[in-house]
Amino acid sequence: MDLLEYQGKQLFARHGVPVPSGKPAHTVEEAVAAADEIGYPCVVKAQVQIGGRGKAGGIKLASDRQEAEANAKAILGMDIRGLTVYELWLERASEIAAEYYASIVFDRGAKAPLVMLSTKGGMDIEEVAASDPDAIARLYVDPLLGLQEFQARRLAFEAGVAADVVRPVAAMLMRLYAAFVEEEATLVEVNPLIVTPGGEGGSGAREVRALDAKVTLDDNSLFRHPDNAVLRDPSAEDPQEQMAKERGVMYVKLGGDVGILANGAGLAMSTVDVVAEAGGRPANFLDVGGGAKAEVITSAVEVILSDANVKAVLFNIFGGITRCDEVAKGLIEAFEQIKPTVPFVVRLDGTNGEQGRALLAQASLANVHTESTMDGAAARVVELAAASTTTSAQR
Ligand code: GDP
Ligand code: MN
């Protein structure tokens, strides 16, 4: 689950990461009231799940109430790379002496969290990584030992952080790491992490602050974090994935045109692989689980067919606990209810396979092709998807 910037900042604040204080707003009136309370100059920021808001005009400074109102009017309802802005975040404007970049991601390949720090912040970090990879200092953290203060300080030196802010930057990394671990995040990104010019508040010392926040939480851990779970916004999720979640079906959308349904995560993954190998593009990964009964099959078929890109479906079942006759009944029921127009290729094997195939033959469903091997089924479904693409293109 991705958090909006202000939700990420509120999470940071709970872990002692310095952030500007601010208020959310949903209307122009709320925005003006928030700006008055915060004081001027303030910043009006579009809250959408996408970066590059600044470049798109979704972040504007306001030096008085008139400007706050005009900015709120301009930004609410704005389209930022396909996303409409329904929410604003207003905060006290910060003075910026330098813009750094900091992030922590879970690197699955290395089986460890990776901390990255750069003094080239504020811009597209992918661009920095491509043009000047040495400008990003990296550190893999031993997950059992955690991030040590001396490592954080060394990373700051390696990145070329200004000497007077090495300690506060290192302290911020420690707190970001604590937030990353305790909230079970898979990504925490601060771009820009700013250095103030100093002299603010009379102390004269330069400070650091997280001016932006990007946080991704592990969906599978949300049950342990009720405070975070309530932040879930179903309207921001993919409609098919949402539908699958409601029905308790394990579904991941992949973007191709060959729908895939299998029992067991291992078989579903292998099915995705054989379809790709046969030259097809899988539309999804769907595991109906062991012992799938008729209703579950109907439900899963509905989820797959709700994706308009699906041109053909591969139904791959190997019966162990799952009985193929039950699956065949489910498929027949699903066809009676849904009457799909896209072709289905079915491979049924294992427990009660013979009975299952006999039931299907008896029902002689239109649009259903049976195959006895996985490779044969994959080749067939790819062929059917391609044929349906050409016919729809001819129409
Ligand atoms: P993004 O474009 O979606 O990454 O949004 P950010 O929150 O990172 O803001 C983009 C840029 O706007 C920052 O890199 C800053 O240069 C600028 N900006 C944001 N907030 C402030 C602020 O309080 N003061 C000043 N001077 N600039 C800001
Ligand atoms: Mn940013």
Give me the pLDDT at residue 391, please: 58
393 strand-pairing partners: none
SS3 295: helix
38 Cβ below 6 A of ligand 1: no
Domain count, the chain: 3
Q: Is 387 part of a structural domain of the chain?
A: yes
For residue 305, being part of any structural domain is answered with: yes
User: Residues 6 or more apart from 16 whose CB is under 8 A from it?
Assistant: 175
pLDDT score at 394? 45
Last residue of a domain, one of 169, 202, 229: 229
The residue out of 229, 256, 287 marking a domain boundary is: 229
What pLDDT score was predicted for residue 139?
Answer: 98
Structure confidence by residue, pLDDT tens digits, 147-171: 999 999 999 999 999 999 999 999 9
**Are residues 126 and 248 part of one domain?**
no
* Domain extent for 285: 239-394
- Of the CA atoms within 13 Å of residue 36, those in its CB half-sphere come to 9
122 in ligand 1 pocket by Cβ < 6 Å?
Answer: yes
**Stated pTM of the model:** 0.76
Report the CATH number at residue 296.
Answer: 3.40.50.261
Per residue in 216-263, pLDDT tens?
A: 999 899 999 999 999 987 776 778 888 888 888 889 999 899 999 998
One domain, residues 115 and 210: yes
* Known catalytic residue at 371: no
- The fraction of the chain above a pLDDT of 90, given in percent, is 74
- The rounded distance, in Å, linking the Cα atoms of 247 and 249 is 6
Q: Decide if 146 is inside a domain.
A: yes
How would you label 113-134 residue by residue, b for 16+ Cβ within 10 Å and e otherwise? bebbbbbbbbeebeebeeeeee
What integer pLDDT is reported at residue 392 of this predicted model?
A: 52
For residue 152, give the 3-state DSSP assignment.
Answer: helix
Ligand 1 centroid from CA 238, angstroms: 28
Nearest to 281 by CA among 292, 291, 273, 269: 273
End-to-end CA distance of the chain: 40
Residues 49 and 112 in one domain: no
Q: Is the pLDDT of residue 90 over 80?
A: yes
Q: Are residues 252 and 298 in the same domain?
A: yes
- The answer to whether residues 314 and 363 belong to one domain is yes
Q: What pLDDT is stored for residue 381 in this prediction?
A: 97
Both 322 and 379 in one domain: the answer is: yes
Helical spans, DSSP H, in the chain: 5-14, 28-38, 65-75, 125-131, 149-159, 166-182, 226-229, 239-247, 265-277, 294-305, 324-338, 353-363, 374-394
Q: How high is the pLDDT of residue 5?
A: 97
CATH of the domain at 47: 3.30.1490.20
Residue 200: which CATH number? 3.30.470.20
* Shared-domain flag, residues 38 and 115: no
Alpha-carbon distance values, 336 to 27, 280, 313, 328, 332 (Å): 48, 28, 17, 12, 6
Q: Is pLDDT of 77 > 90?
A: yes
Cβ of 154: how many Cβ atoms within 10 Å?
A: 15
Cβ atoms of 322 and 356 within 8 Å: the answer is: no
Sequence-separated (6 or more) residues with CB below 8 Å from residue 340: 301, 305, 313, 334, 367
Q: Among 180, 198, 229, give the residue marking a domain's end.
A: 229
Ligand 1 binding pocket includes 33 (Cβ within 6 Å): no
Kindly state whether residue 81 falls inside one of the protein's structural domains. Answer: yes
Distance 212 CA to ligand 2 centre (A): 5
Is the predicted pLDDT of residue 292 greater than 90, yes or no?
no
For the Cβ of 54 lying below 6 angstroms from any atom of ligand 1, the answer is: yes
> Is residue 75 predicted with pLDDT exceeding 70?
yes
101 catalytic? Reply is yes
Q: Are residues 337 and 263 in the same domain?
A: yes
Query: Do 389 and 255 have their domain in common?
Result: yes
* pLDDT tens readout for residues 117-126: 999 998 888 8
Residue 78 lies in a domain: yes
pLDDT of residue 4: 96
Mean pLDDT of the chain: 92
Ligand that lies nearest to the alpha carbon of residue 43, given by its number in the listed order: 1
Shared domain for 285 and 318, answered yes or no, is yes
Same domain as 276, residue 222: no
9-39 residue pLDDT tens: 999 999 999 999 999 999 999 999 999 999 9
Shared domain check, 245 and 205:
no
Determine the length of the chain.
395
